[in-house]
Amino acid sequence: MHVRSDFARLCCVALCLLCCAQAALAQTPFNRTITPELLQQLMPAATRFSEKAGTPPVFTAYGPVANTGAEGVMGYVFQTSDLPPLEVGFSAPIEVLVALDTQATVTAIKVLDYNESFRSSRGDFLSARGFQEQFRSKPLSDEFRVGRDIDGVSRATITSWATTRGIYNAARRVAQVYLPDSGIAAGEDSGANLRLHLEPQSWDDLKAQQHVQELAVNLPDSTVLALSFAYLGNNETLGQILLGAEDFSRAERDASNRFDAGQLVLVGIGGNPSDPFRQERLSVHQNGVDFDMPRRRFVYAGSAQDGKIAQQADYAGAMVLPTEIDVTQPFTIQYDPNNGQPPAALEFSVQGLMRDIALGNDILAPGAPAPDSQNSSDVSWPRVLALLVIFALVMATFLTKNARLRWITLTITLVYLGFINGGFLSMSHITNTINLGPSMILGDVPLLMIVVFTLVTTLIWGRVFCSTLCPFGAVQDLLSKFVPRRWQRTVPARIHDKALYLKYIFLALIVVMAVVQGGVSIFQYFEPFGTLFFYSTSIVLWAILLVILLASAVVKRFYCRYICPLGAALGVLSLVSLSRIKRVPQCTACSVCEHSCPTGAIRKHQIDFKECVRCDICESKLIHKAGVCKHSVESLTARGVVLLPLTPV
């Protein structure tokens, strides 16, 4: 009995798996062969069609031209697959045949081929009555937006979006070439380029670039309402990237049904609040004018299951900003916990790519040269000035070796670059440069300033950045200063000498992942400062941060020594630094600097320069003669102290 029962179960399971596999791989029965009859369906007034030719390739339709009756060009028919990238629906590309007349109007379309997974395939749902018919006599001057001027197919929103976007983008490119006087702007496809910029980036990348900004609302019982804000405007590509096509379509449709105008700001809701989020407690402030956020100005945007926000919040919504708000200028977002405490406030600003979207500028492909003329108002001059002040403090600290000035600089770095501005360097800048080219850095003046300062100082003196410009280095130094010395431990040399190479392994792993699998980011697991300064909602990342902080409290600069991949990258660069730390013969008989080095980079007179963070403790001791160097070489040799020959460091 048991054998038969088990065999029957096995057969049932195998049968189910076979059925699922067949359904998953089933392709809708379309014919991709372009026949004269099919061309005639899309442009019935044409009398003949040419062979497919040209760049991009099109079938040219000929027929009687209005007012003359003579034969002339009536329009063009083309396949979207001939104008890559081909738009992908839920799980596969969608190929459409499109007819475009000489007035830059889509006359008709025919879906040629698409296939979907078992989860979303319900037969030929794109042939549902009314969907393809919406594209008849539709001018390219329309928006081509699902939820606005196009009705999507129920429960197939992603496919509806992809089909509509593919038709519009392909038709626009055909018009640019064959209808140059149609008024369709030439240039790069901003939507496709925006995807090239943002698709490889994670939620933490977006936070590092201030595209996503967070607000923590502390409640009286120590619970926290975590809110995330990101500019959406009315840009469908941006909305799909951040929220997913279906959730953005719902939010935009609801917003457009309530208001004729108004730009959207994404609101991610998370945390562990005892008092639930209430949208009417939000408000927006700009130039001394207050704008309440009544319930109808807040639209639901899904359960944060898709897009970049997936697993970063419990659910999402969107604010419809009043038209009086100028999104190209900073404005304040407030949330009133309604418990007698002052509202939590966030100074929100739209920056970088998002600002280009707000201004209506074309989004260039990654690495493409920027236009010759740049709007000087795009530069955040307060940030530039603040960075210049910090750079001056860092260099003054480095050159004077003044301990008190160093603590002042560390504090300012921690507060401003860490908690206020969030403008510190990260491995995300390296991985994004690999994936997107240098345009991300070149387009952000403050970021470019930090990168140039770091590279120049490293090439000349070594890891000056790690000494006083890294906010997490400041956290570790403050821990070492205030944690009782009896708690602190020294890692045995045999362990330290091997463990320090871990960070170089982490660096290689992150870089290889960026090259091989650009859409997957792992750097956040090795950079706990992102968790600390951006208030991550991930329990795993907070656990990693806590472990590293505890280790750094026991071992000086534990993170810098063994984990930091950015420090490893700067360490490799410092191997060619021009100016090294001075050593004297007395160093061969002294271990004062060795015991004081926070990264374990010193052994007697020898310095492992790639591990040196230029904290200047050893140089200060040499200047003030705090060790054996307070005695002259002659007095030491007279007392029988053996001084070894100096070897290069």
Separation of alpha carbons 396 and 42, rounded Å: 73
Of the chain, the percentage scoring pLDDT greater than 70 comes to: 84
**Which tens digits make up the pLDDT trace of 103-154?**
999 999 998 876 544 233 344 555 656 788 889 999 988 878 776 678 766 5
Residue 520 has pLDDT above 50, yes or no: yes
Neighbours of 62 (CB within 10 A): 16
**Which tens digits make up the pLDDT trace of 200-251?**
888 988 998 889 999 999 998 889 999 999 999 988 889 989 998 778 877 8
Closest to 573 in 3D by CA, of 464, 444, 410, 441:
464
* Kind plus residue range of the DSSP H or E element containing 635: helix 633-638
pLDDT the model gives residue 644: 74
Of 27 and 612, more confident = 612
Q: What is the average pLDDT score of the chain?
A: 83
pLDDT the model gives residue 539: 85
**Which tens digits make up the pLDDT trace of 306-361?**
899 998 999 999 999 998 999 988 999 999 988 778 899 999 989 888 888 888 77
Neighbours of 180 (CB within 10 A): 10
pLDDT the model gives residue 471: 94
Residue 25 has pLDDT above 50, yes or no: no
Neighbours of 539 (CB within 10 A): 8
Q: Mean pLDDT across the stretch 450-465? A: 95
Q: Mean pLDDT across the stretch 11-15? A: 45
What is 85-100 written as a DSSP string?
SPPB-SSSBEEEEEEE
Of the listed ranges 106-110, 380-384, 565-569, the least confidently predicted one is 380-384
Of the chain, the percentage scoring pLDDT greater than 90 comes to: 41
DSSP 8-state class, residue 124: S
What are the backbone dihedrals phi and psi of residue 58, each rounded to the nearest 5 degrees, phi first?
-140, 155
Separation of alpha carbons 89 and 446, rounded Å: 38
The 10 Å CB-count burial string (b at 16+, else e) for 591-602 is ebbbebbbbbbb
- The residue type at 20: C
Torsion of CA 245, 249, 250, 254, to 10 degrees: 160
Handedness of CA 91, 93, 98, 104 (dihedral sign): positive
The CA-based angle 192-194-195, given to 5 degrees, is 65
Relative to beta strand 315-320, strand 331-335 is unpaired
> Is 326 within 8 Å of 335 (Cβ atoms)?
no
Length of the chain, in residues: 649
Q: Hey, what are 635's tokens?
A: 């007095």
> Is 356 within 8 Å of 363 (Cβ atoms)?
yes
Q: Hey, what are 25's tokens?
A: 């791989």
Q: How far does CA 76 lie from the centroid of its chain?
A: 39
Of 89 and 558, more confident = 558
Neighbours of 123 (CB within 10 A): 11
What are the backbone dihedrals phi and psi of residue 304, each rounded to the nearest 5 degrees, phi first?
55, 45
What is 404-429 written as a DSSP string?
HHHHHHHHHIIIIIIIIS-----HHH
pLDDT the model gives residue 185: 58
Separation of alpha carbons 538 and 532, rounded Å: 11
pLDDT the model gives residue 554: 94
Q: Hey, what are 216's tokens?
A: 């923590």
225 to each of 16, 276, 295, how far by Cα in Å? 44, 8, 19
**Is this prediction's pTM over 0.85?**
no
Closest to 228 in 3D by CA, of 355, 317, 338:
317
pLDDT the model gives residue 648: 57
**Which tens digits make up the pLDDT trace of 91-102?**
567 788 999 999
pLDDT the model gives residue 392: 96
pLDDT the model gives residue 32: 59
Separation of alpha carbons 645 and 499, rounded Å: 29
Closest to 556 in 3D by CA, of 475, 493, 464, 465:
475
pLDDT the model gives residue 81: 85
What is 314-331 written as a DSSP string?
SEEEEEE--TT--TTS-E
Residue 160 has pLDDT above 90, yes or no: no
Whether the upstream peptide bond of residue 85 has omega within 30° of 0, thus cis, is: yes
